[in-house]
Amino acid sequence: MAEIVTRAPAAKPWFSGVTLLRAAIVLFALVVWQIMAVSGLFYRGVVPSLPAIGAALMKLLSTGDFYWNLWVTAEEIAIGLAIGGVCGVVAGLVIGGNRFIAQAFEPYLYYLGPTPKIVFFPVMIMWFGVGGGSKIAMGAVSCFFPIALSVAAGMRQIDPVLIRVGESFRAKPWQMATKIYLPAMRHPIVNGLRLGLGVALIGTLLAETKLSNRGLGFLVIQAYNNFNMPLLYAILVVLFVLAIGVNTLVARFARLDEIKQK
């Protein structure tokens, strides 16, 4: 009987050229930063030393105040994403499912999508007040466009055979939506949500920096107003890590890499 021999793939060395280059770039950047900090070429405090930023980061992460503000921002983004996401999915389904409606209204979505949404903030303040409502509205408006456009595009890519199967079973519109369209459009919806999450995050946080007394955006502008530069850098580092991390997680969930490979 022939013996099946399986061979484990050779383990990649952890110190490959790419890893070494990455480490060298990071090290170089940190060294240049530290030299800039101690050189005296910049105004004192503008480029704080790495230990000062590290200490500010540790202090920030060890205070309950930070987590409370993080929770406030996360809540505003989540509600904004939920409202904008539901509206975007519904609009995308309607536009993607009807050619006439798409020709009539999709150009407006397409052209309004890239406009800077922060300019609507004064209007949002008038409509929803200076509290969390206006920030949630900013998040919802920001994420609506990419989600609607992504869902509409995804709807047009559904295999016609699936739609004909649904129609042959005389499925009602809501059955078509829940049994055919939505399952077939998992990737476009999640991809739209990923794009929407990114812009909702920016919209909400920018609104917090402009007019708020809570949230991570407020912490950023408060650190700037107090000229606490180490804290400002620390908050920005945390924000960038959170934003990139969340984006990567959602992308993994959508298995976008698999789609690309196909």
**What is the H or E stretch that residue 98 is in?**
none
DSSP state of 180: I
Window 137-176: contact mask with another protein (x via CB under 8 A): ----------------------------------------
**What is the H or E stretch that residue 129 is in?**
none
Among 50, 87, 236, 256, binds another protein (CB under 8 A): 236
Which of 96, 198 has the CB closer to another protein? 198
- Side-chain-side CA neighbours of residue 21 (13 Å): 3
CA end-to-end span of the chain: 37
Longest dimension (CA), the chain: 80
Which of 38, 183 has the CB closer to another protein? 38
Among 81, 93, 232, 234, binds another protein (CB under 8 A): 232
Beta carbon of residue 151, minimum distance to another protein (angstroms, whole number): 19
Please say whether the beta carbons of 48 and 229 come within 8 A: yes
Residue 112 sits in the site that holds another protein (CB under 8 A) = yes
Rounded-to-integer distance, Cα 210 and Cα 228, Å: 18
Residue 205 sits in the site that holds another protein (CB under 8 A) = yes
At 3 the three-state DSSP class reads: coil
Residues found near another protein in the complex (CB under 8 A): 17-18, 21-22, 25, 46, 100, 103-105, 107-108, 111-112, 114-116, 118-123, 125-127, 198, 201-202, 205-206, 209-210, 217, 220-221, 223-224, 227, 229, 232-233, 236, 239-240, 243-244, 247-248
